[in-house]
Amino acid sequence: MKLRLLTLAIMLVSVSAAYAQLTPEQLAKRERRKNLTVKEWNTDSKAKTKWLDHLTVYDDQGRKVEEIEFSNYGQVERVTCEYDETTGKVSKEIVYDDRNRPTRIRKYEYNSDGTKRKQYNYLPNGKLYSVKVFEYIFSDSE
């Protein structure tokens, strides 16, 4: 019983720490997106036909969990997102092709300030094929 309470306390502290890093504006934006689905439509100016361009789905916490890009012939690409429960950041993205087959997997590492540090790109079979390193350079704007 004590172990369960300790585990629950640790989970609550880590989730609250993840939300503590968000600004009030970010929290309000996330609150508005809870269980939201956004459809973006394109329209042909001559024939007035329309087709679905993008579909974005948010979870019950207001985090983007899926984004699908379409063309007039169907799905072009679909990306699903998984989140780290302790940081609240995207930990993994899976990219699917037009036939809904996985084409690549992206895993992320973050710096202590919440910025991305590294992106690991894997093939669907799990083999690492590239690593992207993020560098942040601030310059004076005088």
Query: What are all long-range contacts of 13-16, with beta carbons under 8 Å and residues at least 24 apart?
Result: 14/85, 14/86, 15/85, 15/86, 15/88
| pLDDT at position 142 over 70 | no
The pLDDT, as a whole number, for residue 51 is: 87
Range from 36-45, 74-83, 123-132 carrying the lowest mean pLDDT: 36-45
Q: What rounded mean pLDDT belongs to the chain? A: 85
The pLDDT, as a whole number, for residue 24 is: 82
The pLDDT, as a whole number, for residue 21 is: 66
- Two tokens, residue 120: 């690991």
Could you tell me the pLDDT band of residue 49, with boundaries at 50, 70 and 90?
Answer: confident
Domain boundaries 2-133, CATH class: mainly beta
Neighbours of 138 (CB within 10 A): 5
The pLDDT, as a whole number, for residue 14 is: 44
